[in-house]
Structure 1
Amino acid sequence: MDPFTLLEEQVEFELKRRGASTDGSPRLLASRLNLNILLATECKVVPVSVENELDYCVKLLAKLEADLEVVRGRRRTAKVLGIQSQIIHIINRLRNVQVIDPTSAERVDSLVAVARELTSRVELSFVSEENQEDSESDGPTPPRPELRKRRNAIGGDPPIVPRELSSEPVYKWRMKKFDGRETQWDVHEFLLEVEEKAQTRNVSHDQLFRESAELFDGEALVWYRDAAQRVSSWEDLRRELLIAYQGYGNDGHLREQIRAAKQEDSQGIDVFLAKMRGMYRRLDRQVSEEEQLDEILRNLNPFLKDRLMMVRIDSIADLRKFARQAESARTRLGTEAPSPVLVSSRDRRTNVSAVREQEGAQPATSRDFQCYNCNSKTHSFRYCDAPMKKFCYGCGMPDVTRSSCPRCAAASKNAPAVAGLEADL
């Protein structure tokens, strides 16, 4: 059905069937209907008067039959396409009536039969004329694709056949081949890149295994030729590759790398978490999320440690959420992350010692806390339902803010800017 050959009222009816808007110019409405047809939008019942609809369809069928009598020629003109589209539109209206009033099924079926007979007359006339053209030509002419498409359109909208995406062969990937001279880290990065490309290029694991020789070069290609005789799937080949170029018992070295991976002052929380989670996934013995969270919290940069010190964090998702808020506040306030050059390690040790002497021992983790607002040990002041009092958000001293707190003000001068915290709360 070609929406651009329908009347405006007919286009609006088809749009209502598909739950689309009927506002706009006639050309805009036709374009909107065309898009809905291409997307195969599910149709719904349009409330109408059964008798009025049946009368409308009878009159329109009579008009189209008369129009067909004067159609001559061997080309599918706009007039012919318009007749075919309106016949399909009539069938759609009749089916809508049948859903509203099942008792009208017999009458509807008879009118649908008339509409399909008209469509068949149009198609058969073109088939006979095309056969005549073929007999007059020197050689056979292949059937026209548009004719097959129109034949499928008899009795309703043209069916939308989903197009199957073709896969791209591995030899066309233009990626660096693995030659066996890489470090144990690059083996993981190599496999990650291969499997990402396979997914985006619609390559199954079976096809990836069949074409995997294209992924190796040098010493690794020699290894592959031997390994391919022992394995029968990509998963097995992947495991053999890790064993050959990473070896067993690598967790100890990898755990050391994880503990030493500190977040840089300019590094966002999402990038840091992606880096850490990627290393955790490489472990043969998986680590629980709680243990991962403890290690990640210890490796945060000083800015986030200061901002999240009194926040209850029970999962990595919580950490991501609150860290994003802290980084967003710093961006809005225009503050910079502290430069390691400006603060010596000696100054840092002195500041930490002074704060501990003034404040007393601080909780070792974010799970030990006390509400500074109501003194409860079941929640932090951020989650307190009692009326909020005035106190220092850093140490809990009453009747002062953090900027005027005698305990925290001195330490805050040498720490990253925290003014946005109280504003956010």
Structure 2
Amino acid sequence: MSYTIKFLSLQKAELEYEVAVRGGVAADSVNELRRQIVKLSLALPSEDILESHLEPFDDLKAVRESLIKSHNNIISLKTKLDKNLFTRTETLLHHIYHRLNRIDYSSADVAEAYKSCRSHFNSQYKDLTSFKMQSSQVPQVADSSPDPIKELVNVSVSCERKLFSEIGKLKYSGKTCVRAFIQKVNEFIQSRSIPQEKILAFAFEIFTDDALHWYRCIKDRVETWDEVVVLLKQDFSENDYDYRLLAEIRARTQGELENITIYIAIMRGMFSRLGKPLPEEDQLEILLHNIRPCYASTLASSANITDIDSLQNICRNYENIQSRLKRFREPPKVSADTVAPEFAYTKQATTSNSNNNYKNYKQLSHNFNTNYSKNYSNNYNNHYNKYKTTSNPAQQENHNLHVNEMAPANDDNNKKNVYCPRCRSQTHSLGSCQKPRFLICFKCGRKGVKFPDCPNCNAGLAKN
């Protein structure tokens, strides 16, 4: 005898068990539980599940609660026969039947409780069968409650329509990368738990253009989707696909704004497209060559890197540290709103007073020498050029009286050459001059006068 369960007639407690025993995670609402069991029951019928996921005592406790529900339903049926209530009670007893068959009652403690539950089940099922003939003679009363069988059919039809619309997005014309298409189909199957037979049944909707002509030709030779995949790779893959893809892999370096996690994920995706898997050692070598040079110092200080995960962790730590460095800020200064100013950072002097004094002295000395040399050279040149180009005949004649006695010094590289303004000679300096001291204008060489009193060099002073 077949004990068929109409799952949409079960209550929440029984639905949670039916979902859990098939490996699913029970949802909170009844509607969601019904959607779950509709999908799971297609792949795993009740007859194929031979063991329970619960402990025997926990299972028997739940069975007793279900038997109480069915007993109350039978009492109601004895009072007034109702076809919908009869159907729900029959479904509940079928649920109890399959549940009892999965309980292990080999131990003595469990056996006694199991026999009691089995006895109550047999008694209730016998009472239910006595109503079967009577329920067939009772006219059907219009009931506003939904029919569980119709609900199951409607849910199945809606699921099929939804599946058809989603599979319709998987189109392949034969002009794009076949391996990308195969990967997309496999991910679709895995994410929606769809049997491969369903995908094969929708093959005429998936393939278009040249790919559809191809499938019509080979459909009699294939029985599973895996066989279709083998022929797809054979007929639509380019002969040098792996060679060209490997060249693209070696040329694919890390972008400037691309973090290491995304880059390695993309590279692993490219590795997975290869027909012949690349050893992880070769993958690691390519990644070490193609990541950005900024990781070099961090990798050089690390131990020997043997796998891609270690490489990713090291580079990710480097990125985290760099992110912290960019966000680092100097400690704030003390303000009027500072609550604890004694804990605020105070900038310390980096050099001692003696070093500061030495630096100040050195700077002053450099400025003095520069200004003195600049002013002296400029004054001498300015006065000499002024006298040389003057338009005053008397001043020009007065200059000619003394120019023969002392020739002007050569101005080429004046700052570097040794020069004695008293002798007007470049053979020695003023400090090493052996001539006796006498009055002389150091600018124009006129004897008997100093530079402040020299009428040649100070024409305005002579007029006054």
Greater relative contact order structure (CA < 8 Å, 6+ sep): 1
> TM-score when scaled to structure 2?
0.41
Query: Quick check: which has more Rg, 1 or 2?
Result: 2
> TM-score when scaled to structure 1?
0.44
- In proportion to residue count, which structure has more helix? 2
